[in-house]
Structure 1
Amino acid sequence: MRGEAAVLSIFHELRDVTLLSVALRMLLASLCGGVIGIEREYKRRPAGFRTHILICLGAAITTLTSQYLYMYMGYDTDISRLGAQVVAGIGFIGAGTIIVTRRQRVKGLTTAAGLWTTAIVGLAIGSGFYEGGLFATILVMIAELVFSKLEYRILNHAPEINLYMEYTDSQCLDQVLVLFRDLAVKVRNMEITRSTGSERHNACAIFTLALNKKHTVESVLNSVLMVEGVISVEEL
């Protein structure tokens, strides 16, 4: 009775491995994977629309194959073994989306986590757990669309940030330090790399700054960028 209360009755007839249920599971896996992937595609991430569809569909057919081998072929095997390999193996694909820039900034973690979750959604739908797959897809979209805005607001009001700045000469660096003092921004740490003398290699500096409540990260970035001699500035 407890198990019956946890699932929707409209899916009862589709939990057996039939031609209709197989078609529905594969179609639903493609749809859920596409919904998650289209958001990544819109933000031009390494793994986008088609990648998420293929991963979710592949995970679904993996679970279906396990069920088929156990229920119809009579193989005395652990039907969860193939699914467990998907959970472990998807890490290799996810790792390929994570990059570390030359400024030691890590990108792609959200995409990698999304790929892993998409694989789990595929496993759930492939096993006939439609409710879990659909609810997980909805929650993933909420996390990527709604919570991302909340995360941006939190980061924009962070009490301490790291800035990477490229500049032309020492006079420019002195002006930036004066700017920080005028803004009441404390410089907790500073690393400087001098110019090599080549036009292709500008001097750079990395600041660890303690902000006050009057200034946001974006306002500090804009102020630094306005200083004469500053070539570029960004948050690490």
Structure 2
Amino acid sequence: MLKMLDPLREINFYSVAFRMILACICGGIIGIEREYKHRPAGFRTHILICLGASMTTMTSQYLSLVMNYTTDISRLGAQVISGIGFIGAGTIIVTKRQRVKGLTTASGLWTVAIVGLAIGAGFYEGAVYASVGIFLAESIFTRVGHYVQKYSPEINVYLEYTERKCLKPVLQVYRENNVKVLDIEVAKASENGGSRFYAMFTLRINRDRAEQQLEKLLMNVTGVNLVEKL
């Protein structure tokens, strides 16, 4: 712990101002990365959550230390940790291709709320370290995830087709190209009085064969309208 910050750990005008400014800075830095990627919760949302969580902790301390109320100062903070889940859930969506998006944003919102609680409690060192870690996880470490996915032998493929019988030649293409089907999910949707079929495949492929080449072979199957790697 830095001794030079000890005066700012008390509840006074300067410490309150410092905590609110630091909450805006930490929340803003994390939110900028989400804003840049056009995620549902961006710059302003992260600032508001971090600032609100910080104010929650300071309010608890104020009631206990200044107003001398006999209250559990951790109770309000506990409600923030559980309540932020409602906001996080709003950023998670499931696309028509059954892809889940928004998990990173939701977890970032939850963590930035805890950063705000730490700032409000005067734990500045932990809040700054956590903010740096969150920023790295959402920006730099993303490249690591992409690298792992790029060289993974398993891929997910979304396929739309017009008739049930189209599935048989699709499976034949996989067999001819030494592609192992690990999992398959088939469904039917009705649109404008017609029917549309789609399938989700989990495949193990040979990296010597380009994914683009496999996609072209699937698109050549009669009745297949769309092939997309997820």
Compute the TM-score of the two structures, normalised by the length of structure 1.
0.84
Q: State whether structure 2 residue 8 is matched by structure 1 residue 14.
A: yes
Output the aligned Cα RMSD.
2.6
Distance change (3 Å), C-alpha of 1:183 and 1:17? same
CA contact (8 A) 1:225 1:232 kept: no
Which stretch shifts more, 25-34 or 190-199? Answer: 190-199
**Cα deviation, residue 172, structure 1:** 7.0
CA contact (8 A) 2:188 2:195 kept: no
Distance change (3 Å), C-alpha of 1:154 and 1:66? same
Partner of 2:54 in structure 1? 60
Which stretch shifts more, 201-210 or 60-69? Answer: 201-210
Q: State whether structure 2 residue 222 is matched by structure 1 residue 231.
A: no
- Could you list the per-position Cα deviations for residues 119-161 of structure 1 after superposition, in whole angstroms to 9, with x for gaps in the alignment? 0000001111110000000000111112111111112222333
**Cα deviation, residue 197, structure 1:** 9.7
Which stretch shifts more, 203-212 or 80-89? Answer: 203-212
Partner of 1:220 in structure 2? 211
Is the partner of 2:202 in helix, strand or coil? Answer: strand
Q: State whether structure 2 residue 49 is matched by structure 1 residue 69.
A: no
The amino acid that maps onto 2:114 is I
Q: Which runs of 5+ in 1 are unaligned?
A: 1-6
Matches within 5 A, 1:1-150: 7-150=1-144
**Cα deviation, residue 15, structure 1:** 1.0
Q: Distance in 2 between matches of 1:197 and 1:72?
A: 63
Distance change (3 Å), C-alpha of 1:222 and 1:145? farther
Aligned residue pairs: how many? Answer: 227
Partner of 1:209 in structure 2? 203
Identity of paired residues, percent? Answer: 55
**Cα deviation, residue 188, structure 1:** 3.5
- Could you list the per-position Cα deviations for residues 167-214 of structure 1 after superposition, in whole angstroms to 9, with x for gaps in the alignment? 456897666545434542223444555797979754433222112343
Q: Distance in 2 between matches of 1:132 and 1:214?
A: 47
Compute the TM-score of the two structures, normalised by the length of structure 2.
0.86
- Could you list the per-position Cα deviations for residues 45-98 of structure 1 after superposition, in whole angstroms to 9, with x for gaps in the alignment? 111111111000000011111111111111111111111111111111111111
The amino acid that maps onto 1:212 is N
CA contact (8 A) 1:98 1:108 kept: yes
The amino acid that maps onto 1:224 is E
The amino acid that maps onto 1:94 is G
The amino acid that maps onto 2:104 is T
Q: Distance in 2 between matches of 1:169 and 1:74?
A: 72
Which stretch shifts more, 226-235 or 26-35? Answer: 226-235
CA contact (8 A) 1:29 1:56 kept: yes
**Cα deviation, residue 100, structure 1:** 1.8
Q: Which runs of 5+ in 2 are unaligned?
A: none
